[in-house]
A and B are shown apart, each in its own frame.
Chain A
Amino acid sequence: MQSLATPKCDPWSRNHLLRDAIGQAIYDRMVSDPSIHLFGEGCHVKVHYDAPNIEWDFSDRVHTLPISEDGNVNFAVGASLLGVKPVVDIITADFLYRAMDSICNTAAKANFVRPDQPPATIVIRAEFLTGGPTTGQRPEALFTHIPGLNVVIPSTPRDAYGLMLTALREPGVTLFFEDRMIQDGLIEEHDRRCYAPVGMGYAHERRHGNLKPDCTVVVYGLMRQRAEKALDPMLNIDLLDLRTIYPIDWVQIKASVRRSRNLLIIEPDVQYGGVGAEIVATIAEKMPEVRIKRLGGSRVTIPAAMHLQGGMMPTEEQIRDAVTNW
């Protein structure tokens, strides 16, 4: 493992552990399921660099499409009607706005309008980068609003592998995010082991406090790493990594909050109208005695100048402060 003193989220550090785990999961499923095909912009080039084992063994199942994100997802829906299980690579999460129509109007409804037929399996991939104004956006919360979509944001290679296995095995449409800002150097050995499927809608309890923890910290994506780095392991807290923001693991959240009575949600995204708001509202309705805090990014456009990009996400100091001062 690299030193914990690795530089801050550096877009050029080329984090690759999550990407490798996703590639391995796709490869492993391709071995046993001949209906899985990969589509995307420059797909054969991306596979060449990122997943050489797929290129080596399944180059005939890798298909490069034009830079037409919206058309590409509709194309994949068409292929899925005949039993193909497409993995569509949208490349960068910002490009998802281009494909909102085909994802939300076509793919998300495709299984609903044919209850008489076997449901399709479609995986749509995108990665989070950094930068602005349109290269570091995090549109994941928008998609949790759309019925018919699973939204997956793993924070460890182990979860990325397990969730991709599940996404390709189960029927349904999954939006699978890869956070390129999760630093390889901070990923511990046990989180690197890729061996088993992970179900949709099961949070991972990263830390478990005693019978009466001081608070429940709910995180997803990049914030798992930042919270673990910021928070002393001796603190008496429950730390839940959601892994999928739709479906959400209400059972674990409620079980933990019932013990702690304090809930802190940390999201790597604009806080306004985000995933945290949904969790807060649900818990506040069902358990009004719980004290609630949220940490997230400001609702501002990301400037291109890197030195102005602070405040886009909660810092370690803010996380420490929120956990210790209730």
Chain B
Amino acid sequence: MTLLQTGKRTLTETMLLVRAVEDRLQELCLEGLAGDLHFSKGQEAICVGVCAALRETDYVVTHHRSIAHAIAKGVPLEPLLAEILGKAEGMNRGMAGEMHMSYPAKRFMFSWQLVGTCVPVAAGLAWAVKNYLKTDDVVVCFHGDAATANGQWHEGVNIAAVQALPLLLVCENNAMAGNVTPEYYSPFGGAMATGRAAGYVIHPDSVDGNDVGAVYQAATKNLAYVRKYHRPVLLECQTTRLGRHKQGQGDLRGKDEIAELAKRDPLRTATPEERQHVEAEVQELFRRVLTC
């Protein structure tokens, strides 16, 4: 793992930070201090790799599993956690929660609970960047593989293709829709997003979403294309969700199955020193937020 930087942290450190924050939030869920949150355990490499390839001024739009994306885009952790915990000090004063939060100062623009909504919203944002603000910034829209079965995904991608918008669609393909496997929602099997890209005459690309370096490189390449030609690109990242769909919901997968997936954990090579360093930081962070 090369030492790529996001702010002061390496990409591995950022992923560890996401993991540590989410683990601590999970404890709070079990204690009843937080709601049923959606975590990205096992998927951290995608948002961390993509956001590292973004400019500070590029925009991010995302879906309900948004905590990792916000951290990766550089949203300050105190207001982020306060928002997730429903406090007035939260970045949206506790009104938005984990699934609807936004922080425009860091260009973390929009997250939405309903599957697929983020895609046409991201297209509208990209339209405004191109035709209203007239800057060369790019919008990244994270969505899940299950969203590709939703009408909003198709309407949004169609508009983005027709209007030639600077939009990078990043499909976090964890091959799960809640507890449901792809045979129920995709005729393409595994590569569901890239398979659909041809229908909109947009460029597809795919990468191992659990290899943060590979994600970073793929994102860098595709962002350059999107920025230069103002055409959407669909980047599909194959990944593994190691946790439940959301807290408070059962997981149909057996322990063996998850252990098999964990062999691809993007953080399997992180050293104990790195982990300890980040965990100490997170302990201190939560102490501050919980007492505010």
Contacts and interface: CB of A to CB of B under 8 A. Distances in A.
B92 A113 contact: yes
Given A114-B96, A116-B93, A78 B155 contact: no
B63 to A, nearest CB: 13
A78 B114 contact: no
A84 interface: yes
15 contacts: A68-B159, A70-B151, A71-B158, A71-B159, A74-B121, A74-B156, A75-B156, A78-B61, A78-B123, A102-B117, A106-B112, A106-B117, A115-B93, A115-B95, A117-B102
Contacts of B86: none
Interface residues of A, number: 31
Contact of A84 (B61, B132, B155, B156): B132
A82 B159 contact: no
Interface string A27-67: 00000000101000000000000000000000000010110
A263 interface: no
Contacts of B132: 35, 37, 79, 82-84
Contacts of A106: 112, 114, 117, 121
B218 interface: no
A113 B96 contact: yes
A109 B109 contact: no
Given A79-B132, A116-B92, A71 B120 contact: yes
Contact of B128 (A65, A68, A82, A117): A82
Interface in B113-145: 114, 117, 120-129, 132-133
Contact of A79 (B91, B128, B152): B128
Interface in B56-92: 61, 91-92
Contacts of A81: 102, 104, 109-110, 121, 124-125, 128
Given A78-B123, A79-B127, A70 B159 contact: no
A113 B64 CA distance: 14
Given A71-B123, A83-B128, A116-B93, 4 more contacts: A74-B156, A75-B156, A79-B128, A101-B117
Interface size class of B (residues with CB under 8 A): 20 to 34
Contacts of B93: 115-116
Contacts of A74: 117, 120-121, 124, 152, 155-156
A79 B123 CA distance: 8
Nearest to A71: B155
B117 A117 contact: no
A70 B92 contact: no
B223 interface: no
